[in-house]
Structure formats: C-alpha cells, structure tokens
C-alpha cells in the first residue's frame, strides 16, 4: 500500500523497555501512562530515535476525559511527519499559465503533511496520527460517558496507553465495531468520504477515476461508490503489482483497472469513447500520474487534488503539472485539515457514524494487520517497510 525510498530505521532507547500497560491507582485517582515519543525529526533513511516516556495523569477536569487507547495505527503519514524537514510549503490553489501558446491550469499537488496538519506537531511529540480510545473517566462538564469510544483528531498523538483529552480533541465513534477499524476511520476513510460526497452530486451509473486506488483512501472511495452504484476506473502505477491489486480492487467494486502506462494509448481512448463522460477525477500523486487522471476525466468534469495519507515517499512525486483549459474542468483542492477546522462537531460525528455503520454492516473492508503494542519495535519496522500492501495497527491488551 505504501512504499518509501529507503527502509525506516527506528531506535527505541534501551532504558525504556515496554512494561505491562499502565494501571489506575484507585486510591490516588491517577494513571501511570506510557507513550512512544520523539524529540527530533530526521532525514528519510536516517535513524529515528524514539523513547518510551512515562507520566502520571491527574483526574480529568472541566470537559476533559481520561481515555485508554485500544488501537493505534502505524501509517505512512507518521513516517512523513517524523522525517519532515520543513512545513512551510503551504499548498497554493491552481493558477492559469500559458504553455506553447495554450492556456492551462497549473496544478500544485497537496502534500500529505498539509492534508493532515496546519503545521507540524511541536517537539517533543507523541507518535501516531490515528487511533481509537475508550473513556475511563469523564470530567464534570464532559458530555462523554464511561465506555464511550473516541477518535482523537490529528496532532494528539496516539502511540500511548492513556491520555487526558478535551471534547474538542476527539470525535465519538460507535463501540460495537473492531477497534482496528475504528482506529483508522478518522484519516483515510474520512478523506474518501469527503471526496466522494463534497464535490459532485454523483448518481447511479456515473463514472469516476482515481489513482493509487489500493490505499485506504482509494479502497474506501471504491466501496462508497459501489454502495451507490457509481462506476469506478482505478489507475495503478507501473510500480504496483497490477495482477494482485487488480483482483482485490475488483472484489471491492472497481469496474475497470488500468495501468497508468496505457492511458495515452489508442485502446484507452476507444474504451473511454464507449463510456459516459467521467464526472470526477481524484489525484493524490501529482506529476505524470495526476495529469493522466485529468486526461481520463470528461470535458466539463471535476478534478480534485488532495494529499493522500497513504501515498507518501516513492509513489508520490508531488510535482506540479498542467491541465489544458479547453477541457473546462472544475479544478478543486481538498485538505482534510481545513475541513476539520471548519466543520461542526455534529458534521464530524455524522461522517464517522456513516463510516462506522458501513464497517458494522460489512460494507467497508480494508486491508489491515494487527500487532500487539508491546511489540512496537517490530510493528514500526513492519509498518514502514517498502511495498507494504496493508495497514498495520497496534492493539492494546
């Protein structure tokens, strides 16, 4: 699912061996919590130093809740954040330019960091962007109840046993689905939900196209489309295992799987001429891949550039590209970070409720693998290895 230019090198401080999960002292009403933290960012390929820190959490006050984590994902976004050297390159909207006397839209792809964060987390930071936790104690002004499940917003840090979180830092999620699914809903599937619902009023029989479609974003878009009867063209890069991914994507509901290399061929043009115009194109890679998505979208269609939280490193070029003006495409840019900042708590909850209901009804299937949190050294190595085809989720005892 995600690939990186070099294998991740992670070192956990020797003095910080992971001991059994923290316990609550009923007499003292405090919690001993452990967390995987990092105090500096390194260049890709360099050794990343992480520590196991222990702290004592007090009784929740105000609208806070004491939560215990159930599962935490290891995602490509975690890798990007911990290896980022700069977050100043804020994505800019498409502009018009001229190339060879032809007017064209100049597209600057959205980087995964900006898709998730307004700015990088301050250091030192707790690792992990995705996770799910259960409320163990609520503050006097909190609407959350003991036993409720919550998804922390990006920036909270999820590679930990416990945390004190305010209501504004979490989104409630139903507690009758697998915790590993709940742990990943707030990023990839949430991005897919917004992409599918916010830009085009898609109807049964309409067509869409997307690249890097085997990511969690892509898998969710495909299943949202299948649920509504929308047809999907899935583009895979030449680096991906076409035969393996093609079978999986078709099982999820993809109608046509193509290698990007054939987009400019006569056979591809002939196939598209026999279909209704493609209404929506979703690009997370930029460069030549993004340009080919735009080529497949029909005239007067909609093209959306977004930061794929799964497509970091090797696949994502993030290179600017151009789309001819004469296609008259409605060109849009999507950042989940901007949507989360503006959306109400009710809007966030509805999105997560819809996705969690799909999981409960077995309408959303994602490729994932579980490892216990105590095996975090192995989990980190596996979660960031090259050519990985499934998301690794660490589960707590």
Q: pLDDT grade, residue 7 (50/70/90)? A: very low
The residue with greater pLDDT, 325 or 254, is 254
Cα 55 to Cα 58: distance, rounded to the nearest angstrom? 10
Q: Give backbone dihedrals phi and psi of 268, rounded to 5 degrees, phi first.
A: -70, -45
- CB of 110 within 8 A of CB of 307? yes
Residue range 308-326: mean pLDDT, rounded: 57
Lowest pLDDT segment from 3-7, 104-108, 147-151, 250-254: 3-7
**CB contact set of 351 (below 8 Å; sequence gap of 6+):** 190, 193, 194
Residue 107's beta-bridge partner residues?
321
Question: Region 141-162: what's the mean pLDDT?
Answer: 95
The pLDDT of residue 108 is 64
User: How far apart are the C-alpha atoms of 72 and 394, rounded to whole Å?
Assistant: 5
Rounded Cα–Cα distance for residues 221 and 35 (Å) = 33
Looking at every residue in the chain, the average pLDDT score rounds to 83
Cα 66–Cα 68–Cα 71 angle in degrees, nearest 5: 145
Q: List residues bridging with 235 in a β-sheet.
A: 211, 258
Provide, rounded to the nearest whole percent, the portion of the chain with pLDDT above 70: 79
The predicted model scores a pTM of 0.88
Contacts of 133 (CB under 8 A, 6+ apart): 67, 68, 69, 70, 149, 150, 152, 158, 163, 165, 170
- pLDDT band at 5, cuts 50/70/90? very low
Residue 77 structure tokens: 């976004």
* CA-closest candidate to residue 77, choices 371, 253, 337: 337
**Nearest Cα to Cα of residue 366 among 232, 143, 180:** 180
pLDDT score of 269 more than 60? yes
Does the structure show a pLDDT above 70 at 198?
yes
Q: DSSP letter at 277?
A: P
Which region among 189-193, 294-298, 303-307 has the lowest average model confidence (pLDDT)?
A: 303-307
Q: What is the DSSP letter of 323?
A: E
Q: How far apart are CA 159 and CA 39, in angstroms?
A: 14
Confidence of residue 314 (pLDDT cuts 50, 70, 90): very low
pLDDT at 304: 94
pLDDT of residue 308: 57
Amino acid 361: pLDDT: 97
Quick count: other Cβ atoms within 10 Å of Cβ 369? Answer: 15
pLDDT classification of 50: cutoffs 50, 70, 90? confident
pLDDT bracket for residue 203 (50, 70, 90)? very high
Mean pLDDT confidence for 341-368? 96
Which pLDDT value is given to residue 109?
63
pLDDT computed for residue 297 by the predictor: 94
Least confident interval from 22-26, 199-203, 205-209 = 22-26
pLDDT over threshold 50, residue 4: no
pLDDT number for residue 79? 82
Residue 313 is predicted with a pLDDT of 44
| pLDDT band, very low/low/confident/very high, at 103 (cuts 50, 70, 90) | low
Query: What pLDDT is recorded for position 181?
Result: 97
Nearest partner of 302 among 334, 268, 329, 336, judged by Cα: 329
Integer Cα distance of 317 and 389 in angstroms = 19
Domains identified in the chain and CATH numbers: 9-84+122-185+364-395 (3.90.180.10), 95-114+188-337 (3.40.50.720)
* Whole-angstrom distance, CA of residue 305 vs CA of residue 210: 10
Classify residue 274 by its DSSP letter: T
């Amino acid at each position: 699912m995600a690939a990186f230019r070099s294998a991740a090198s992670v070192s956990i401080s020797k003095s910080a061996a992971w001991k059994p999960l923290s316990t609550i002292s009923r007499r003292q009403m405090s919690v001993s919590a452990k967390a995987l933290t990092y105090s500096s960012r390194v260049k890709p390929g360099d050794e990343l130093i992480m520590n196991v820190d222990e702290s004592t959490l007090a009784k929740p006050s105000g609208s806070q809740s004491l939560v215990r984590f159930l599962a935490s994902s290891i995602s490509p976004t975690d890798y990007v954040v911990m290896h980022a050297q700069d977050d100043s390159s804020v994505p800019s909207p498409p502009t018009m330019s001229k190339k060879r006397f032809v007017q064209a839209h100049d597209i600057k792809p959205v980087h995964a960091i900006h898709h998730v964060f307004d700015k990088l987390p301050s250091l030192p930071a707790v690792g992990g962007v995705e996770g799910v936790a259960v409320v163990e104690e609520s503050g006097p002004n909190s609407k959350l109840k003991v036993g409720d499940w919550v998804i922390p917003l990006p920036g909270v840090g999820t590679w930990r046993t416990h945390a004190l979180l305010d209501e504004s830092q979490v989104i409630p999620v139903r507690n009758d689905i697998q915790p590993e699914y709940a742990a990943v809903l707030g990023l990839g599937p949430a991005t897919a939900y917004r992409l599918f619902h916010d830009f085009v009023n898609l109807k049964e029989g309409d067509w869409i196209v997307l690249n890097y479609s085997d990511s969690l974003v892509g898998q969710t878009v495909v299943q949202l489309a299948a649920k509504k009867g929308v047809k999907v063209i899935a583009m895979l890069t030449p680096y991906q295992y076409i035969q393996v991914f093609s079978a999986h994507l078709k099982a999820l509901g993809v109608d046509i799987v193509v290698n990007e290399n054939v987009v400019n061929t006569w056979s591809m043009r002939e196939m598209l001429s026999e279909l209704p115009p493609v209404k929506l194109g979703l690009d997370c890679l930029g460069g030549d891949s993004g340009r080919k998505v735009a080529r497949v979208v029909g005239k007067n269609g909609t093209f959306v550039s977004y930061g794929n939280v799964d497509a970091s490193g090797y696949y994502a070029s993030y290179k600017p590209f151009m789309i001819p003006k004469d296609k008259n495409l409605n060109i849009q840019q999507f950042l989940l970070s901007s949507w989360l900042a503006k959306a109400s708590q009710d809007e966030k909850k509805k999105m997560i409720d819809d996705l969690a209901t799909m999981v409960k009804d077995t309408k959303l299937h994602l490729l994932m693998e579980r490892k216990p949190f105590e095996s975090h050294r192995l989990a980190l190595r596996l979660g960031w290895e090259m050519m990985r085809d499934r998301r690794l989720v660490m589960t707590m005892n």
